[in-house]
Structure 1
Amino acid sequence: MSVRKAAMILYRCCWIAFVALVLVSVFTDPLVPYGLTFVPAAVALTIGLLVSRRSRAGLAKARPAVEVGPPVTGRWTALNSPADKVPSHGTHSYGQTYAIDIVAEPEEGNRPAFRRLWPVVRPNRDFPAFGAPLLAVADGTVVHASDGQRDHLSRNSGPALAYLMLIEASVRDMAGAGRIVGNHLVLDLGDSTYAVYAHVRRGSLQVRAGDAVREGQQLARCGNSGNSTEPHVHFQLMDHPDLDVARGIPFTWRGIGVPADGEVFTADEAVSSG
């Protein structure tokens, strides 16, 4: 086990210990002085800072952008793009340094807009990205494939987003990377480069670990599992198949580049040779 992997396990254990101690202190006679309940949280924060600093140090040796095909077809809009800031999602954790989110908008205005109050949540079928095919961005081998987690309702309102940010995301983070990215695929593209597709639709996998795939081959469908506000595709490249130890790798989509936040782009349909 690598030092980074061990650190991430200890990080989660400390947060779980903190929550447990706080709950015990609230509902029963405290087992330890109240002030000491925050020791595990302090340890977790320290570990998180050290891991983040080590990830930032790795950026000095960042690899050149890897050109791959787009993971979707049709008309999409980019969000949280590395074209605008790095790390694109505000963290280097889970290999997300150069990750990107994209939402489907086949026609302008047909994707539900964010609402301050109502409706609090929406069903996934209201979003055109839900069920969209996910395509292999290059020839490769499936390293991981999972689609057992549920697709939850949207979090694209003020109250729902607050719940996601203040409660749900923390719980998922304590549970591990798999609960953050939800159902997901990891492809080995060779040369220590791995592609990740997150928030995959439950039950939509068409491949399994060990399968060889060809560029343009359909792998699964877009869903809304894991730490997600609405059905969308989260895509990233990284240097290791384990999200806990991976570092991000820059990417560029053939014929598209790296779309900036809010940029609308159209991906042409690729033909699988598999």
Structure 2
Amino acid sequence: MSVRTAVPAAMRLSWLVLLALMIGEFVTDLPGPGWATTFLPAMVVLALMVATTTLQARAAAPRGEPRPPVEVEPPVTGRWSALNSPADKVPSHGTHGYGQTYAIDIVADPETAEGEAPARPAFRPLWPLFRRNSAFPAFGAPLLAMADATVVTASDGQRDHLSRNSLPGLVYLMFVESSVRSILGAHRVIGNHVVLDLGDGTYAVYAHVRRGSLRVKAGDTVRAGQPIGSVGNSGNSSEPHLHVHLMDSPDLDDARGVPFTWRGVGVPANGETFTVDAAGARIAKARPGDVGGAG
């Protein structure tokens, strides 16, 4: 086992020991001074967390000049808006971890008649704290293979939680839920997901997939444009949306990001919409509005 895999494993074990000691302090009088049963284990956990973050960031950081963008098909149809786009910032999500240097989030943004409220619920400061996933037009939207590929990983057993698109919900997501998910590992951060081997050392990951929606399993081959699952709200996600990125390894803990461009669309910037239909794809500026966090 390498140092980069051993340290995260030690961190998770230390968390379990710390929680057991904390419970023990409430249930019984543990032998020894308090600093030895609570403070010292907490410092060990903190040191291992810092070491884990440092090792993961170092492993995922780009080396040398970035590869030319890989052109693939858009993974959805209909009208969508882009969030956290690499067209505006790299790394797009503020970290190179999990190979997401060039990751992008997209939310369904269907056209509405003049005078009608947008189909996608807006971010609210206080109320409602949470919304059901069915309130969002992205939930259940088909996901399409971006290229002819082989399925490496297909996992869709995690639940789709309620949205976190209010200020208290977003604070909870960022400072509580995301921390716990990070400790549990990449699969809890990206939620239900599928990883495709596109060939030439390039892999695509679709994150936050809807529970039970995957139509493929590891080892299957797919064709570009083939439905492979549905958009969900699992993992570290503020609302139903698709997080997708290309990387150079199927192992999220070992991958580096690979730039992409969608055929006929390019890389939409934050706040831009793009529409994909049977006739092809086009891109246009989105109307002004808030776009929330996604994740």
What TM-score do the two structures reach when normalised by structure 2?
Answer: 0.85
Q: Structure 1 residues 26, 59: closer, same or farther in 2, change over 3 A?
A: farther
Partner deviation per Cα, 1:60-85 (whole Å, 9 max, x = no partner): 24322111110001100000111111
Q: Do the aligned residues in 1 keep the contact of 2:60 with 2:254 (CA within 8 Å)?
A: no
The correspondence of residues 112-123 of structure 1 with structure 2, limited to 5 A, is 112-123=121-132
User: For 1:43 and 1:116, how far apart are their aligned partners in 2?
Assistant: 35
C-alpha contact (below 8 Å) 2:247/2:257 kept by paired residues:
yes
Q: Which has the larger radius of gyration?
A: 2
**In the alignment, what sits opposite 2:288?**
none
Name the residue aligned to 1:194: 203
Equivalences for residues 124-143 of structure 1 within 5 A: 124-143=133-152
Unpaired segments ≥5 residues, structure 2: 113-117, 281-295
Matches of 1:92 and 1:12, distance apart in 2:
22
Could you tell me how far 1:25 is from its partner in structure 2? 5.3
Q: 1:4 to 1:192 in 2, by over 3 A?
A: farther
For residue 47 of structure 2, the aligned residue among 42, 48, 66 is: 42
Question: 2:108 aligns to what?
Answer: 104
SS of residue in 1 equivalent to 2:174: helix
Aligned to 2:284: none
CA distance 1:159–1:211, shift in 2 (3 Å): same
Change (3 A) 1:170 1:61: same
Equivalent positions of 1:221-232 (< 5 A) are 221-232=230-241
Shift of 1:90: 1.1
Q: Cα RMSD between the aligned structures?
A: 2.1
Q: Return the offset for 1:28.
A: 5.4
* Alpha-carbon distance change, 15 to 253 in structure 1, aligned in 2, over 3 angstroms: farther
Q: Give the alignment of 1:59-208 within 5 angstroms.
A: 59-107=63-111, 109-208=118-217
TM-score, normalised via structure 1 length = 0.91
Q: CA deviation at 1:3?
A: 4.6
Q: Which is worse superposed, 45-54 or 207-216?
A: 45-54
Q: Is the 8 A contact 2:18 2:38 kept in 1?
A: no
- Which amino acid in structure 2 is aligned with residue 85 of structure 1? K
User: What amino acid sits opposite 2:67 in the alignment?
Assistant: R
* Paired residue secondary structure (1:60): coil
Q: Percent identity?
A: 64
Equivalent residues of 2:10, 2:48 under 8 A apart: no
Q: Could you say what secondary structure the match of 2:210 adopts?
A: coil
Using the alignment, how far apart are the partners of 2:252 and 2:81 within structure 1? 25
In structure 2, C-alpha distance between the alignment counterparts of 1:7 and 1:228, rounded to whole Å: 26
For the 8 Å contact 2:151–2:197, the answer to whether it is kept is yes
Looking at structure 2, the residues matched to 12 and 95 of structure 1 have their Cα atoms a distance apart, in angstroms, of 21
Q: Give the conservation status (yes or no) of the 8 Å contact 2:148–2:222.
A: yes
Q: State the alpha-carbon separation in 1 of the partners of residues 6 and 74 from structure 2.
A: 34
